[in-house]
Chain A
């Protein structure tokens, strides 16, 4: 089932790429159908997923030998964390593919790359083999590189190049660390479950070095300050749907990677480094919010809030991984559940925000906040959707962001009170910066050149409605999500 949800979109991408006769509308329709298949499969997996405490951590496991001498195999399986993230990923890909886009006459290729990226992104969350994880990690760069470089605007090629090279440099550090970690296990294996159970690298300077390799790579991908400067240009010049995927899915690969590899497989070393990681996360929270506040460009502003939000996530992860600190198991569990909830919530919320930003570009080819105003007059649906998404983004209760951030803060406070207390300033600054943004886009006078600015229409309404419906649902009644995520975090925290 899991294997199919990786291979079907990739196969779909191949078929699209080699069927030159397909018309634009057909290609889009086919892409939507294919992109929806993984969600369907993952929902089936979810229905069969056992969240009771006695259930095994990884379920729906499938394994096929590949390079037995190296301990490499096609291994897939999910715990609560991976399943929650892959469900979000599958949904967000449907949204991105459905979103009407300007494909610049290369419709088939555009959708092929999206489907390819969907397959590799799901592969990253679903695989249980380190080497395959790495392969998918790198392939995701390739997919995104082409989406930005070919269908972006502005200085898209330079932005794509910077994104590619910067994150590739990070992934090389990860590759080294993966090799070192796998080699330290006897016999050699890339099986994540074995490495989690055996914790092969538990002490010494070597372990710290390997940990730092992982952290460097994942910190670039997440991104954490000061490794974040590839993010704003990549977002600004990317087409809206690609931005949504970049923020919603690709950034999560960094934080998911931290949870899945260093925190799970090297928990003692990770605990030693938890405080510096937490401080770096706090810096990202405050710096991201502060810099976002000064941005005049709609997409740059949202992009920097991603740095802020991923900071919350990493803060929660650091607190959860600090098991030598005096924090109780309950608090660390809360912090990690919050961090994973934040990944899901940020995917849905920032995904919507970037799609909306894409709508602005399609209509007016400008992200400059000063070029807008008074749009509430003529685009009430767009106004309502943006207001809801921004409120969710700065953590207003009854919306998804709050459920995540509240858990992160309360959980972290029991471990690192100062980091959590200072981090609270982040939700104040983001509130101010998003409200200023809403104000300058939608209120006041309508500039004459925007008099014919169209409101959200057709598929845009549907896509945004579904994403924001989930944001509200998670905000009001998150029990179903927290139950799923909790199954994963419980195994990690109490097992570790």
Chain B
């Protein structure tokens, strides 16, 4: 029953695909209808505690169940997808729009499958479906070969991470004979390590953590709505989600926490720096996504999955909002270069909505993102002051690039001109802004205490000193970002800045260290395969040709040779039997001669073209050969 949650969007996709609906409003209706139904199903499923099971075989069972955190995620996915799809129907190029909507709906379905999964097999299925959809979506406009190349890069990078999940599933089966989450608890060593680290690697790859982060930049080749959905509620969210969902299992492995915190903190700081330097609007947001998922990794590593989940929810709202706003600005500018934007005057309402998103991203109270980030500071503080300081610094960087983004994209530089976004786009952006504003209620103690009770988890409160230090860094970041936007509009476009803004040189390192050597290795292997492995049969063939040089090389000849070969083999075997000298019967030489004669005569007849006789001959010859051998024995 719970699988309905994944089937509903897939069904919507199938219906859209089969229909010949092409108008924007038609596609908007069917996609919002599908996501709306999915949302309703998610709420009902959460309320009634639905579960699901599909048996493939005795050993393979797909199972689904919702924990409170999984239910939150299951509701969040369609909640974010709905405005994004409305926007997509209104905003994206009409060419291939139906395909885009179909794939986005499938994407949602895959995500819901991995959210409801209660075992590693089901998780893996949803996980890789989401990856494949991301390939198709990033390369959506395939006429420009760079886009599918971006999709390829993203898919191969994340699939490398998927191997970790494969490994986890393999280890779970070897250790417990089952893939169910429930059976992972008591896994022996080293299986538990493989499960924990396999899942961590998969999650890091999906969530764009170091060293996998560059794929998120390449994913920017996709349309804006794809970026918005990919970063907010699907794909990238899957990594952090699976850590949140499996936190009880993962924490059995003592090395998991430091590893997750390490990856998360490094990504949060590096991503913040990269975003602060990025001249490209969507890439700035992409680096910021890596950084904020890094913060969620820190929260999970520190032992507070609920805090990570709340930040994921808040991030989903404001990041989708910012991407959609960036898409509108990019459409107007004809490029995503920030220094070519500045549409505060031209698009005042979009600018205002975007400002809400940017302030939330920057962590300015009393907005939702600020509260969840301060919570991460607090849980990091439980682990050590240095960790809290790291998270605060990441928060400061976040404020800096948020300010820079907003002021450059929606500053008041250019006069009004041209047309603005349509109703569907406003609808999408507005809904997400409303969602972000609503979440700000989390600042009220009564509300966040209620949330904590509902999830049965603890929400730590930060100390006053932490709060003051953190907010001071946010203020500093905002100022720095504002001044960068004003004084250095070309930041990150040339020189060291440009090198650093491309993930601190990580993509070049990957190209030089992995991609290119692999490609060379493959070329050498292909050469070796032709030159060495094939040498032996070629040598034999050359010898054969020499022997047969008197005859024509027609195909019937080849057949003839096959028969002679069999006959010669019979002679050889017979001689073998002879030297052993146990039974030298009359039948042996006669039989052998018979075969040779028979084979030769028949082979000659073959040349008349009656080729169908040949197979009877070969079968008969083989049988005769056996008879002779039996006699020998």
Contacts and interface: CB of A to CB of B under 8 A. Distances in A.
Interface of A: 13-14, 17, 67, 70, 72, 112, 116, 120, 131, 134-135, 138-139, 142-143, 145-146, 149-150, 157, 160-162, 164-166, 168, 172, 175, 179, 183, 188, 225-226, 228-230, 287, 290-291, 293-295, 328, 330-331, 333-334, 337, 373-374, 376-377, 391, 396-398, 402-403, 406-407, 409-411, 413-414, 417, 420-421, 424-425, 427-428, 431-432, 435-436, 438-439, 442-445, 477-479, 482-483, 486
B163 A149 contact: no
A472 to B, nearest CB: 12
Contacts of A165: 540-541, 544, 558, 561-562, 565
A135 B619 contact: yes
Q: Chain B binding site: helix, strand, loop or mixed by DSSP? A: helix
Given A291-B529, A294-B526, 13 more contacts: A146-B611, A149-B555, A157-B558, A165-B540, A226-B533, A287-B525, A293-B518, A409-B170, A413-B171, A428-B160, A431-B159, A444-B145, A444-B148
Interface string B611-633: 11011001100110111011001
Contacts of B625: 175
B612 A13 contact: yes
Given A160-B558, A397-B128, A337 B156 contact: no
Contacts of A425: 163
Interface stretch (B37-45, B51-59, B206-214, B495-503): B51-59
B166 interface: yes
Contacts of A228: 533
Contacts of B163: 424-425, 427-428
A431 B143 contact: no
A443 B148 contact: yes
B537 interface: yes
B149 interface: yes
Q: Chain A CB within 10 Å — which of B58, B126, B561 has the most? A: B58
B402 to A, nearest CB: 35
B142 interface: yes
B323 to A, nearest CB: 24
A134 B622 contact: yes
Contact of B60 (A131, A428, A482): A482
Q: Chain B CB within 10 Å — which of A160, A164, A230, A406 has the most? A: A406
Given A145-B558, A165-B544, A290-B521, A139 B615 contact: yes
A426 B163 CA distance: 10
A226 B526 CA distance: 13
Listed from nearest, the 3 A-B pairs whose CB atoms lie closest are A444-B145, A413-B170, A294-B526
A376 B143 CA distance: 9
Contacts of A478: 56-57
A444 B135 CA distance: 15
A149 B125 CA distance: 43
A439 B555 contact: no
B20 interface: no
B152 interface: yes
Contact of A421 (B58, B126, B167): B167
A427 B630 CA distance: 47
Nearest to B573: A176
B121 interface: yes
Interface size bucket, B side?
35 or more
Interface in B102-160: 121, 124-129, 132, 135, 139, 142-145, 147-149, 151-152, 155-156, 159-160
A439 B533 contact: no
A149 to B, nearest CB: 5
Given A157-B553, A291-B522, A294-B522, A435 B622 contact: no
A481 B496 CA distance: 58
B611 A331 contact: no
A428 B159 contact: yes
A161 B612 contact: no
Interface in B56-89: 56-60
B152 A432 contact: yes
B186 interface: no
B177 interface: yes
A131 B629 CA distance: 13
B569 interface: yes
Contacts of A14: 612
Contact of A397 (B124, B537, B565, B615): B124
Interface in B190-233: none
Contacts of B159: 427-428, 431
A410 B618 CA distance: 43
Interface string B513-551: 000001101110110011001100100110010000000
A435 B526 contact: no
A318 B29 CA distance: 54
Nearest to A425: B163
A135 B623 contact: yes
Nearest to B530: A229
Contact of B174 (A161, A162, A403, A417): A417
Interface in B8-66: 54-60
Nearest to B96: A376
Q: Chain A CB within 10 Å — which of B160, B519, B619 has the most? A: B619
Contacts of B124: 397, 406
Contacts of A435: 135, 151-152, 155-156
A315 to B, nearest CB: 13
Contacts of B522: 290-291, 293-294
Nearest to B610: A17
Contacts of B558: 145, 149, 157, 160-161, 164-165
Nearest to A10: B615
B301 to A, nearest CB: 25
B612 A112 contact: yes
A122 to B, nearest CB: 15
B622 A420 contact: no
A291 B526 contact: yes
Nearest to B124: A397
A168 B562 contact: yes
B142 A442 contact: yes
B173 interface: yes
Nearest to A377: B143
A490 B618 CA distance: 36
Given A410-B169, A439-B152, A444 B142 contact: yes
A413 B173 contact: yes
A482 to B, nearest CB: 4
A172 B149 contact: no
B496 to A, nearest CB: 32
B559 interface: yes
B566 to A, nearest CB: 8
Given A160-B555, A162-B537, A439-B148, A396 B525 contact: no
Given A145-B558, A230-B537, A396 B128 contact: yes
A161 B142 contact: no
Contact of B619 (A17, A139, A443, A486): A139
Given A139-B618, A161-B541, A165-B541, A431 B169 contact: no
